[in-house]
Amino acid sequence: MDILRTIAYQPGNNNNKMCEHSHNKSSETRRAKLEDSSHAAQEMSRIISDSTTGKCYCRGKVLGKGGFAKCYEFTDLGSGKVYAVKIIPHTRVSKPHQREKIDREIELHRALHHKHIVQFYHHFEDKDNIYILLEYCSRRSLAHILKARKVLTEPEVRYYLRQVVSGLKYLHDQEILHRDLKLGNFFINEVMDLKIGDFGLAAKLEPVENRRRTICGTPNYLSPEVLNKQGHGCESDVWALGCVMYTMLLGRPPFETTNLKETYRCIREARYSMPSTLSPQAKHLISTMLAKTPEERPRLDDILRHDFFSQGFTPDRLSASCCHMAPDLQHTSPAKSFFKKAAAALFGGKKDRAKYFETLNKLTKEEEDIHRLRQDLRKASISNLPCRQATEDGANKQQIRDTIRMIVRGTLGSCSSSSECLEDSTMGSVADTVTRVLRGCLENMPEANDIPKEGLNCSFQWVTKWVDYSNKYGFGYQLSDHTVGVLFNNGTHMSLLSDKKSVHYYAELGQCMVFSTCEAPEQFVSQVTILKYFAHYMEENLMDGGDLPNVTDVSKPRLYLLQWLKSDRALMMLFNDGTFQVNFYHDHTKIIVCSQGEEYLLTYINEERVSTAVRLSELLRRGSSPDLRSRMEYALNMLLQRSLES
């Protein structure tokens, strides 16, 4: 069997393509070396002429080399246009089946036209070589970028994978399998667009019974079914994509070992390590793509709907500096103030931590009052209240209740209710109020082993579904009353009410414009279209986040999102009436803090999606489980981080 290797236009590629038994053909290796010497002698001419078109090209530097060919930079002397040109000596394709393979590659590639596929332009021959003119990608390949960078960030991986999936979906729609997806075959152009290239091993998709049984591709990226000679399908390309994602995030392929037989054994068993440094979403997506059984792997559309993409920021564009250094993604985001990463101060350097604790310990006059009240609570031994005798002095009881109410309400002054105080507030004052309430509770709450059970009948709105599409439009969510809202990247907000006909538009805090979907003002038509898209997507693809009843108090003001913030662990959402919700990714738990008259209510949705609602005053009196306390502390840290970065 002949060697099935084609060019991967980058130097020093250690993951050479191979076909079964190719490494045993020493005679062919010796012949190849002789042909290399002959080829080198023939390459002395720097001016190459195409007799079919009359064009002349100047041969430049070598871009890469493979088993059959070398790739050079070519400049059209007439137009100045630069190409990547694959040069294949006739001596390398002297056998009929070798020439057929090159002809098949040309015919397949020349018919492909897609933004994320290397463009095929032209091919011609002279007496010595075959020349294939391809799109020139000046930033070389992802293999070069990873070699310089060692690892890539998750936003970068999302950026590149979206483009790979787009190009690969086009190929699969054309019933073409690439069969050699790897970093060295993903080329990057001047503006950092990714292009899938090297179609030397590509083949038409065949019915299962007629699929090719040849073991070909790059060893580290071969799928179990290919190694087991069960044939290539679209699932094999998805497997390779999982290997690519793993490699970008960790700097090495998942099945790489020092021994090829051991690598193959690991692949057949789908056995690889999953370091704790990966996010839960990244781990889950990789594990689905590297499922041992092909049928269990996701389709390409399912990949883009995965939490790794929907719950993470994807930049619209990467700077060329990303080829050699990590990007500063805080400055590339079109909605910087709405999704800065939380907890940088908590996990950053000394200066960040010092700034964080300085803010944490800085008390306003109101907070000093809370501090004094805390001392009063300690004197009153509030943590022992459940054990008090029924004969306790009534006046003392009332004093303690008043003290609790003042702390929980965050010393809201003369307002009769928190919603009244917040209704016409700025985003900062809403966040500050919630911060004071949450901090006041945490600083005074005794330790306990479980969450108090109150059996409350609650009526409030909360977020049941959400999707992050801030790389293009904004952040979308669905409330428990089936209202759908979008906080757009330009800072405006639009809600589609549950009747799917009425739209509320907020250009500024507290200022609302109401119109119907069928009579939207011309300047809002595009936003209404996007709003409907969000609504349809969440309805079709997402499930509700807990067991809370979908009931709301129609007398309360309409809820709309002021701000959202994501860390590597949780999503925070802050609303105009002071409702504050935090969703934790890894176990899908949630906490919701909202006002109920003169009280604040906290609802906790656990891993089993079962909810428990309790007044903050009851938490202050009886304490909370360590599990809930830790989540409350993390939520407070996110709020404090928001104030640091605003």
Q: Are 413 and 482 spatial neighbours (Cβ–Cβ below 8 Å)? A: no
| Cα-based torsion angle of the residue sequence 376, 381, 387, 389 in order, rounded to the nearest 10 degrees | -60
Rounded average pLDDT over 442-470: 82
Question: Which residues are part of a known binding site?
Answer: 86
- CATH code that applies to domain 142-323: 1.10.510.10
Q: Are 585 and 426 spatial neighbours (Cβ–Cβ below 8 Å)? A: no
Q: How confident is the model at residue 217 (pLDDT cuts 50, 70, 90)?
A: low
- Name the superfamily (CATH) of residues 463-547: POLO box domain (3.30.1120.30)
Report the C-alpha gap between 64 and 76 in whole angstroms.
Answer: 19
Tokens of 175: 């019933």
Mean pLDDT of the chain: 78
Return the pLDDT at 511: 72
Helix axes 427-444, 394-408, angle to 10 degrees: 140
Weakest-pLDDT range from 79-93, 386-400, 608-622: 386-400
Given a cut of 50, whether residue 168 has pLDDT beyond it is yes
| pLDDT tens figures, 460-469 | 889 999 998 8
| pLDDT tens figures, 338-347 | 333 333 433 4
CATH fold of 18-135, please?
Answer: Phosphorylase Kinase; domain 1 (3.30.200)
φ and ψ at residue 100, rounded to 5 degrees: -60, -35
Rounded average pLDDT over 267-276: 93
Catalytic amino acids? 180
Question: Which residues are part of a known binding site for ATP?
Answer: 86
Report the C-alpha gap between 287 and 282 in whole angstroms.
Answer: 8
Q: How confident is the model at residue 208 (pLDDT cuts 50, 70, 90)?
A: low
Report the C-alpha gap between 118 and 121 in whole angstroms.
Answer: 10
φ and ψ at residue 473, rounded to 5 degrees: -120, -55
Given a cut of 80, whether residue 331 has pLDDT beyond it is no
Q: Are 176 and 205 spatial neighbours (Cβ–Cβ below 8 Å)? A: yes
| Cα-based torsion angle of the residue sequence 359, 361, 366, 370 in order, rounded to the nearest 10 degrees | 140
Report the C-alpha gap between 617 and 619 in whole angstroms.
Answer: 5
Alpha carbons within 13 angstroms on the beta-carbon side of residue 103 total 9
Residue from 205, 257, 249, 212 nearest 230 by CA: 212
Please tell me the pTM assigned to this model. Answer: 0.51
Rounded average pLDDT over 616-627: 86
Helices (DSSP H) in 305-424: which residue ranges? 307-310, 344-347, 350-361, 365-379, 394-408, 418-422
- What is the enclosing helix (H) or strand (E) of 504? strand 502-508
Rounded percentage of the chain residues whose pLDDT exceeds 70: 72
Alpha carbons within 13 angstroms on the beta-carbon side of residue 425 total 22
Q: How confident is the model at residue 17 (pLDDT cuts 50, 70, 90)?
A: low
Q: DSSP per residue over 219-271, as a string?
A: GGG--HHHHTT----HHHHHHHHHHHHHHHHHSS-TT--SSHHHHHHHHHHT-
The domain limits of the chain are 18-135, 142-323, 463-547
Given a cut of 80, whether residue 457 has pLDDT beyond it is no
Q: Are 339 and 470 spatial neighbours (Cβ–Cβ below 8 Å)? A: yes
